[in-house]
Structure 1
């Protein structure tokens, strides 16, 4: 019975995480598009600037490029995690748990990596409001994804004991 009580919690967290991961991926996609459109323009003489970085983002600092790239990867993997989690919540059995749990853990670790890079970006300063929004979502997602993982795994542990 207790495993069934965690199902609404897991469903709510799954929906919240999916929406937030899509927003993180969208903001990261915007940042990459902005960087491509407003990046370095190399003239006919092909001379690179003195401190050229292939991951250059004009709207942030030196950590922005890495933070955005890992945020996009975390957003895409997190969205895929939500799709596997949706299937698990539909079935809610031990056979669908390993795939949902493993991809959720991978998404969580990528989110933690992106969050760490976002902390470095915050430390260096000089970022716009969209990047601040993405950083805040990554911090929130690192917690909610962890609680989601605990909810689906705890429910399966309780279910196994009642058999």
Structure 2
């Protein structure tokens, strides 16, 4: 009975995390596109400006480039871990646990890294609504991904 309930919790968290990671990827993609479109212009002599930075973002603050870069990496790995998690939730055996748990743990650590940059960006204040949304999603994902990892590890303790 408890094993079935934990499987339901894991499935719900898996779907929630996948949707949130896809939203993070969408907002991060928008931010990168805007940075490319409105970043530094290279002059006719193809010389870079004096203070050129490949992770300069015209919106936000000094932490935005790092935040968006690591949020995109966490989003891709998180979405991939959710796909791996579907296989585990379908079979729900100890044989499928290592792959799902490893992918989820890597996604969680990258999400924590992106969340750290989100906290730094919050501290520096200047950012727009989309970046605030991405910050909130990453902070929520850092908790829900950890709960998902705990839920899928329950299969080993119940068998």
Q: Matches of 2:20 and 2:5 in 1, distance apart?
A: 24
1:45 correspondence with 2:49: no
Q: Which position in structure 2 is the counterpart of 1:87?
A: 87
Q: Matches of 1:152 and 1:62 in 2, distance apart?
A: 38
Choose 50-59 or 132-141, whichever is displaced more: 50-59
CA RMSD of aligned residues (A): 1.1
Task: State TM-score, norm by structure 1.
Answer: 0.94
Matches within 5 A, 1:99-118: 99-118=99-118
In structure 1, stretches of 5+ residues that fail to align are none
Matches within 5 A, 1:1-163: 1-159=1-159
Check whether the contact 1:4–1:155 (CA below 8 A) recurs between aligned residues. no
Task: State TM-score, norm by structure 2.
Answer: 0.96
Structure 1 stretches of 4+ moved >6 Å: none
In structure 2, stretches of 5+ residues that fail to align are none
Deviation track 1:84-123 (CA, whole Å, cap 9, x = no partner) reads 1111000111111100000000000000000001111111
Check whether the contact 2:67–2:114 (CA below 8 A) recurs between aligned residues. yes
Q: Matches of 2:82 and 2:46 in 1, distance apart?
A: 45
